[in-house]
A and B are shown apart, each in its own frame.
Chain A
Amino acid sequence: MSFIKKPRIELPTQQRNDIGLLERDYEGPMSTLCAGCGHDSISAAIVRAFWELSIPPEKVIKLSGIGCSSKTPAYLLPGSHGFNSVHGRMPSVATGALAGNRDLVCIGISGDGDSLSIGFGQFGHAVRRNLNMLYLIENNGVYGLTKGQFSAAADKGSKAKRGDINQWKNIDPVSTAISMGSSFVARGFSGDREQLVTLIKAGIMHPGCAIVDVVSPCVTFNNHPGSTKSYTYTRDHYHPVSQADFVPPATEIRTSYAEGESTVVALHDGSSLHLKKTDSGYDATNRSRVMRFLEQQRARGEVVTGLLYINTELPEMHDIYRTSATPMKDLEFEKLNPGSSVLAELQARMR
């Protein structure tokens, strides 16, 4: 993906995080996406989330498939190894990368075409393996780079820029992921940065596959009247149900919620997620109720956002495989190779 180098401006007011880095250190070169593209807001939210969590950039891998969404890893975290894979295949590369080095913090950035059409299978299997990664879908309902075809995420009845009406039922990544047994499903909106940063932080820290579907309007091909993925439509039908705050281990909880308004979800490393309910009665840990709620809101055309479902008890891929705590790539050769005497012994049984 093309990019333009950004001038580095030092501002004295900038804050350093716990590892001494500025937010600027997490920013990449200038994006070449269209001005006003929702994806750029998401990139900014990712930068903010990683900076706030003080994650060393070199511990992060950022992967993507093909499409506008998949260009974005080039515009953030310049100190992290990046991998722009082939269309719809980001999850398999992430699976291999995490199989080889489980210590890496993995973020996969995909789009609705990348994950719901060509890569639908791999998306499903990343969820099924509960791969320990943040899996972000920048969802604009349209193929931008090829000039405006509907994607599988486009709502039935939604109007294309050239006037066509979409005849096909959409695939919703949120309800699909929940029905496939996902451990963490959220939806955000590129126009609500405050909520999005908290969702991304929660997703990064979640020990498993965190699916974050982000409605991200395409200003060029899908931001007109009649589109259900436009800024206007999304703002008009916006329905946040929860906000997730990540609280690191041994940190004093500063935010106070009224009783019955928040749920604390403990993570294995001693940290926790505080779910603030903005819609009373929403329970993000009850799968069947979440599904029912989402179905009701969908019928009304509402865009439900927030941390919609979470289960931190589900084991991730390495827990299920019982692989060593040492990353595969760091295992000493002596531990891997049984040596000549074993080979001789083994062959005694082949005679």
Chain B
Amino acid sequence: MTQQRVNDFVIKIGTVNGTGSASANNLLLKALFRMGIPVTGKNLFPSNIQGLPTWYGIRANRDGYMSRSLRVDVLVALNNQTYQRDMENLCPGGFMVYDSTWPRAKQLNRDDITVLGVPLAKMCNENFSDARVRILMKNIAYVGVLAALMSIDTQVLQTLIEETFASKPKLIESNLKAMGLGYDYTMENFTCPLPVRAETMGDNRKHIMIDGNSAAALGCLYAGATVGAWYPITPSTSMMDAFKKYCKTYRIDAQTGKKNYCIIQAEDELAAAGMVVGANWVGARAFTPTSGPGISLMSEFIGFAYYAEIPAVFFNVQRVGPSTGMPTRTQQCDIMACAYASHGDTQHPLLLPANPHECFEMAVKAFDLAEHLQTPVFVLSDLDIGMNDWMIPELEWDDTYRPNRGKVLNSEEVEELEKFCRYLDSDGDGIAPRTLPGVSPKAAYFVRGSGHNKNALYTENSDEYQEIIDRLLVKWKTARKRVPGPVLEPAAEKTSIGIIAYGSSDGAVTEALDGLAAMGIHADYMRVRAFPFDDEVTGFVKSHETIFVVEQNRDAQLRSLLILETNTDAQKLVPVLHYNGMPIPAQCVVEGVCAHMRVEVMA
């Protein structure tokens, strides 16, 4: 008898890319969400348009664990190419739904799982005439099957379908029909519900489902960004798609019909970076979304903007490197490359969101910081945050917010000066006031990436050069005070063990902390949210004997940064790494910590 698993399961759906299963998967996800169950959806997709295998994993967890779980409780196997592998990944006692329209090879059996055949294609072929509709409706039919098997509220599903197709009543009808086909067949032929099932838990009304790229795009919209320059690259593309969508709704001037935004698809990432720098130079808030390969190409302009002190906002939705790597898989592999991007002495503030909620907030913060500090600022998200469906607390906006445009002198302020010196800091924060083109002849200065003095004049004079480069260090200290601080989660008991992680590794760590505590291993957890590290991060490193640094890259880049920047003993920082391209599961953290602590992992 299979163990009862109520509101704690993983559904995996294996389909073929391009068959339109996304809307069906979203329907399932939203239904569970509306039943009040904490839920996440992870899309595992190929770098392909049509024909290759794709999977969607839904994790529902009553305790709110959001990281990728390694177990699969219910499998919907609709792709012959991956059928065997998918079945092998199903956990013992699991359930597999397949399309019984076609015979299934006998050797593909496992005696520790339950196989449930539903003639999905046959049902849809009999009930729908159009070829494309048949394929699409097969997806909705498996939603009906799962609803029956797992007690997913059909009323909720119906409402969702009605809302989704409110403007196309014919589609409501066909979708409900398809769902009914799957539901009825399952109720008639199998014992429902399964021990693995959903149960209404309350409500998630204070939460939303969103992906990080959409949330970051919303952040740009709310921050007042007007210029977006970009070159398409997975997994950042959907961020500009979302920004465009929001702009089309909220940024068209009601009177003139003209756009209060300018999105430029550049010829390459070099140009995209140049455009962002150019637009920020004249005083428009401008950004570019990209991924690792784009950062490599943009590095020349990143160093330029650092030295010439021009604000710029770069969103790096990280994917697997090196080189082209695996564009549709996730990693945290660019933190080192971004922290010191470009040749010469350069260093850049990085904001490290752990979920879409922070993508929204940090997008706004990035513009404020970039303009305040007059320097490039990076938001380091990744494919897992950017492209997967996350349940997060509702986004909030303070209408009293006004952008921090930094020290920008207008013509009156310039007139009051005896002389305008572009690179002269008068108040000790390392930031010199700038002027925008168009102000007055007295405010004019010459931006250059070559050696310059405080008057923005070309120099090859050692002292003049060093004066500027040393002031940039003072500015770096200001940056340290202004970036978001870390989030500290102290252990229930006093401990000398610490864990440091950032970004999308957060879910795995928080889940692992509970598991470790149950084994008697207590650890304080610090999630760093920015670079440069502030005193709190340094203090945490100093005050713990052993610190596990959890991250998703091979070379322990965050650990290296901590060693470099907190001047700590490398021995006490223990790497816990996951870098195969899949989001890090909690089990990896538990195993990593236990391996070091020489404690056997309890099964």
Question: A: which residues have CB within 8 A of B?
Answer: 1-3, 56-59, 61, 73-74, 78-86, 89, 91-101, 103-104, 121-122, 124-125, 318, 321-325, 327-329, 331, 333, 335-340, 342-344, 346-347, 350-351
A-B contact pairs, 28 of them (CB 8 A): A58-B441, A58-B443, A73-B446, A81-B435, A81-B446, A82-B445, A83-B446, A83-B448, A84-B447, A84-B448, A91-B271, A92-B272, A93-B274, A95-B274, A95-B275, A96-B277, A96-B281, A97-B282, A99-B275, A99-B284, A121-B268, A125-B271, A322-B257, A328-B261, A328-B284, A335-B253, A336-B225, A343-B395
- Known A-B contacts A322-B257, A338-B222; the reply to A351 vs B205 at CB < 8 A is yes
**Interface segment out of the listed B91-99, B175-183, B398-406, B490-498:** B398-406
- Known A-B contacts A86-B301, A93-B277, A101-B438; the reply to A351 vs B204 at CB < 8 A is yes
* Closest chain A residue, CB of each to CB of B255: A324
B300 near A: Cβ within 8 Å? yes
A100 touching B395 by the CB < 8 A rule?
no
- Known A-B contacts A92-B278, A125-B271, A347-B395; the reply to A329 vs B283 at CB < 8 A is yes
B355 near A: Cβ within 8 Å? no
- Known A-B contacts A97-B281, A340-B399; the reply to A350 vs B446 at CB < 8 A is no
Interface string of B428-451 (1 = CB under 8 A from A): 000000011111111111111110
B465 near A: Cβ within 8 Å? no
* Closest chain B residue, CB of each to CB of A350: B208
The docked-state distance in angstroms from the alpha carbon of A322 to that of B247 is 13
B30 touching A351 by the CB < 8 A rule?
yes
The docked-state distance in angstroms from the alpha carbon of A57 to that of B440 is 8
B283 touching A58 by the CB < 8 A rule?
no
A335 partner residues in chain B, CB cutoff 8 A:
253, 260
B229 near A: Cβ within 8 Å? yes
A81 touching B437 by the CB < 8 A rule?
yes
A104 touching B282 by the CB < 8 A rule?
yes
B517 near A: Cβ within 8 Å? no
Interface size class of B (residues with CB under 8 A): 35 or more
- Known A-B contacts A58-B444, A343-B222, A347-B208; the reply to A100 vs B259 at CB < 8 A is no
B184 near A: Cβ within 8 Å? no
CB distance from B249 to the nearest CB of A (A): 8
Chain A CB within 10 Å, residue with most, of B223, B275, B276: B275
A104 touching B274 by the CB < 8 A rule?
no
B40 partner residues in chain A, CB cutoff 8 A:
none
Other-chain residue from A82, A122, A346 in contact with B267 (beta carbon distance below 8 A): A122
B229 partner residues in chain A, CB cutoff 8 A:
95-96, 99
- Known A-B contacts A95-B264, A347-B395; the reply to A58 vs B224 at CB < 8 A is no
- Known A-B contacts A58-B441, A100-B286, A347-B394; the reply to A1 vs B270 at CB < 8 A is no
B273 partner residues in chain A, CB cutoff 8 A:
92
The docked-state distance in angstroms from the alpha carbon of A279 to that of B250 is 54
The docked-state distance in angstroms from the alpha carbon of A158 to that of B253 is 56
Chain A CB within 10 Å, residue with most, of B205, B208, B398: B208
CB distance from B358 to the nearest CB of A (A): 16
B394 partner residues in chain A, CB cutoff 8 A:
344, 347
B283 touching A82 by the CB < 8 A rule?
no
B251 near A: Cβ within 8 Å? yes
B251 partner residues in chain A, CB cutoff 8 A:
336
B250 partner residues in chain A, CB cutoff 8 A:
338, 342
B34 near A: Cβ within 8 Å? yes
- Known A-B contacts A78-B441, A336-B260, A350-B208; the reply to A329 vs B226 at CB < 8 A is yes
* Closest chain A residue, CB of each to CB of B257: A322
A121 touching B271 by the CB < 8 A rule?
yes
Chain B CB within 10 Å, residue with most, of A93, A121, A321: A93
A328 touching B268 by the CB < 8 A rule?
no
- Known A-B contacts A58-B439, A92-B274, A328-B226; the reply to A343 vs B444 at CB < 8 A is no
B210 partner residues in chain A, CB cutoff 8 A:
350
CB distance from A122 to the nearest CB of B (A): 6
B278 partner residues in chain A, CB cutoff 8 A:
83, 92-100
A92 touching B440 by the CB < 8 A rule?
no
B276 touching A96 by the CB < 8 A rule?
yes
B435 partner residues in chain A, CB cutoff 8 A:
81
CB distance from A127 to the nearest CB of B (A): 11
A325 touching B256 by the CB < 8 A rule?
yes
B540 near A: Cβ within 8 Å? no
- Known A-B contacts A339-B399, A342-B250, A347-B208; the reply to A101 vs B437 at CB < 8 A is yes
B458 touching A337 by the CB < 8 A rule?
no
B266 near A: Cβ within 8 Å? yes
A336 touching B438 by the CB < 8 A rule?
no
B227 near A: Cβ within 8 Å? yes
